[in-house]
Amino acid sequence: MLLNGNSFAEIKRKGQEVISIELLPNSLVTVKQNDNGVVYYVIGEKKRKVKAENILHFKYFTQDGLTGVPPLYALRDEMKVQSAGNKTIFNFFSRGINGSGILKVNKSDLDTTAKRAIREKFEEANGSSDGNNALRTIILDETMDYKTLEVNTDVLKLINSSDWTTKQIAKAFGISSERLGVESVHSSTIQSNLMYLQNTLVHYFSCFISEISKKLGKDFRFNTDRLMETDPETIMKNTLEQVRGSLLTINEGRAKLGLPPQEGGDRLLASLNYTYLDSLESYQFREQEGQNGTRKKSD
């Protein structure tokens, strides 16, 4: 979906029951719409028609609501800049120490053909495209005067910067640049994961969940617990708080820590002396009866 703009999978059903979901190559699927506005899909060389409810069609960007547009399209201008930049770097180094310059031929009236011939001969003698003439001495006669043109090397640094390219990719996909190897000095691992979840993945999750839930008729959600995990000590602390707060049973907490279940661990604990939640009412009743009996004996 990210590279091509679309991703397809066919839902195989037996009656109302889903038997399997098969991924379809993009090259085999064509999206169609009839005169009544009903969308259907044509698959394979045999032009097999499939109803929309039997195709999972994921698209992140779309202009017409039917087909997706890949996020990489946003980088068309950047790719042109990169291509031109690579040519600039190649030309800069292929000319050795000369770079770009002006060769002035004194007391002569040269036509276009003569100028081209002199330029080619000069570059052949002093260039470095073959690696043999790099850093060699330039020899000119009294009729020639050569002057180099200054090249801003900061531009070359920008062109040859992998960070610049990486940031463009990150921008197109909505990913923080540190996920692609560019270090960030002001964020911790947990902050980075939270930003990745909130700013990037949540948009992709919405795309997937809406399509799957509609076509399969059930509610789905992604489990993002892995992104919130940090060090073992923090995981242990959070699990204990969830068990003590009656959010998890003992066995559910043990499962998060990779431990086997224990007998009697499938009941929720309550904060009142950490008794079982389903026996809390009877516990309070016994406590009240015990207090009443104590008062009668005192009387």
Both 47 and 105 in a single domain? no
Structural domain boundaries enclosing 98: 75-150
**pLDDT in single tens digits along all 299 residues of the chain:** 988 899 999 999 998 899 999 999 999 999 999 989 899 999 988 899 999 999 999 998 888 888 998 888 888 877 777 777 777 767 666 655 455 677 777 767 777 888 788 777 776 666 555 545 555 566 666 677 776 666 555 655 655 555 667 778 888 888 887 777 766 666 677 777 888 888 888 889 999 999 999 999 889 988 887 777 667 777 888 888 888 888 899 999 998 888 999 888 898 877 665 566 667 677 777 767 666 665 555 55
**Domain final position from 150, 166, 184:** 150
Residues 89 and 85: their CA atoms lie apart, in Å, by 6
Q: Is residue 186 part of a domain?
A: no
Residues 5 and 24: their CA atoms lie apart, in Å, by 14
Supply the pLDDT for residue 214.
92
Both 47 and 15 in a single domain? yes
Q: Is residue 44 part of a domain?
A: yes
Q: Is residue 196 part of a domain?
A: no
Strands 55-58 and 101-105: unpaired
Q: How many CB atoms lie within 10 A of CB 173?
A: 17
Supply the pLDDT for residue 245.
83
Query: What total number of domains does the chain contain?
Result: 3
DSSP 167: H
Residues 7 and 24: their CA atoms lie apart, in Å, by 8
Q: Is residue 190 part of a domain?
A: no
Q: Is residue 123 part of a domain?
A: yes
Residues 152 and 81: their CA atoms lie apart, in Å, by 17
Q: Is residue 183 part of a domain?
A: no
What's the pTM? Answer: 0.58
Q: Does residue 263 sit in helix, strand or coil?
A: coil
Q: Which residue has the tokens 């850093």?
A: 135
Residues 26 and 11: their CA atoms lie apart, in Å, by 16
Q: Is residue 220 part of a domain?
A: no
Structure tokens at 104: 């002035």
**Domain final position from 101, 126, 150:** 150
Residues 109 and 259: their CA atoms lie apart, in Å, by 91
As beta bridge partners, residue 190 has none
> What DSSP line would sit under 116-151, residue for residue?
HHHHHHHHHHH--TTSSSTTPPP---TTEEEEEPP-
Both 239 and 265 in a single domain? yes
**Domain final position from 125, 150, 175:** 150
Both 53 and 96 in a single domain? no
Both 83 and 115 in a single domain? yes
Residues 59 and 70: their CA atoms lie apart, in Å, by 8
**Nearest CA to 67 among 79, 55, 77, 78?**
55
Q: Is residue 252 part of a domain?
A: yes
